[in-house]
Structure 1
Amino acid sequence: MTELRLGMIGFGAIGQQIARQLSTVPVGAILSTPRALEQTRAVAPAGALVTADWDAFAAFAPTLVVECAGHAALRALGVRVLGLGADLVIASVGALADHETEADLRRAAERGGRIVIPSGALGGLDVLGSARHAGLDKVRYESRKAPAAWLGTPAEDTLDLRAVTSPVVFFTGTAREAALAFPKNANVAATVALAGTGFDATEVALIADPEATGNRHVILASGAFGEIAISVNGRVLPDNPKSSVLAPSSLTRAIEMAVARCVI
């Protein structure tokens, strides 16, 4: 079996949590931005190459790269990573809602490494994917978070988040619309869409709830197979209330699954 050589793009709150959780695979190289380079070096695992230079990162010859740096980073670097022959684990799944980005990455994967999409902050993608083969007609995804988690997003264009006193549905639309409008909050919507009926057939509702105790994700699906109702209420990352503790953990699991001899 080929040795797994792990690289990471970005090393913020999610990347650092992944590094803390890993027990079997060391982080070998981290690609940073020039602005964050010194800060990243200060918190990087001992022995890891930390660089802002693509050529130096590529020379490390990673076999698996985890992207946790945002939509722009995935668009700029995803094709390059796959071109190295490395598998690419994507955190910023919502970037695939852009037709050109998805097409470019899929073409690159046909010639190079695989695209790996983790479950993120929810569960049930296995049964949703199975239902797609058994007959899946309708999928609805709901995201319920505290108002503060929606600050800095288009939600502020429709309501005063600091004055919300009861749950408010401020967005309804397709998974494509949600993922593109809320790039830091709706990556899960994109993941649900890819597992099920696609970006344009997946219904999405985004909710600001002042009584939310975490980030709640709900999948409702129906079809010839039967019905699915899945709900996950995840604790938020202390350094990033827009994301859940489960999000980096799902990336950690994807890394470990790449070397596991028993896969579940």
Structure 2
Amino acid sequence: MKPLFSLRGRANATLIVGLALLALQIVLIVFAPVIAPHSPIDADPSNILKPPSWHYWFGTDVSGMDILSRVIYATRINLLISVTAVAIAFAIGVPIGLFIGYYRNLLSTLVMRVFDFIQSFPVFVIGMALVSVMGQEIWNVAIVLAVLFIPMFARLIRAEVLSLRDRPFISAAVCSGATDTAIMFRHILPNAITPAIVQISISIGMAILLTAGLSFVGAGVRMPTPEWGLMVANGAQQMILGVWWAALFPGLAIIVSVLTFAILGDAVKRLSDPVTRGKS
């Protein structure tokens, strides 16, 4: 007799919740001009620090800008930076990990030492340094985050390749005359890609936090661009005066967005786990 809630059933339920939260954010991204009640960048000095009301649901900030509208538009900015960064890191890191895992030579060792050097620094510190050098633009932040995430994907793929390259089915492919390229991309990569796919969702959540953190300390995007971390930084300065709404609502947006991708990552991990599939 199967349990009332199987492991696969719980994974599916988690996936549905994650997809629902993701769908909400996609709606905000696509229909932001329709949903947002006010301009996200137009300041109104006559409405500075207004508390939440029927006219300003989330209140206004120190510049008189509508917080709800800025939170909605910031979904575009934060997810654009995060998804772009992770997509670039995945596209570059996976092939690199495949090659350095399959070929054991001086170049592979050199690449690993470069990754060791990058990962030896605190992620936030090196992120601030690179953004400061490149400039505080949206695409520069995305590129910096991609550089920081490339070693993560490369190491994941390399670890899987190292465990697969000496398997009997690879030896059989070699004996059948398959080229190195065919072995890597037809036989090894399909069996090694799952951990990297699971890592995509988790990395997007990390990228959202890093983007918000860089903006919070003044090293990310600049005003008046609507961005959650930047809004929290501006609102935090007013909290001592009792203006709680300026930092609360963008902070909640960060929590919901990161939670969304954490849930999706957990669901994908559960569904790709052979134990979960076996107990469904």
Q: TM-score, structure 2 length as denominator?
A: 0.22
Greater fraction of residues in strand: 1
The structure whose RCO (Cα within 8 Å, separation 6+) is larger is 2
Give TM-score scaled by structure 1 length: 0.23
Between structures 1 and 2, the one with greater helix share: 2
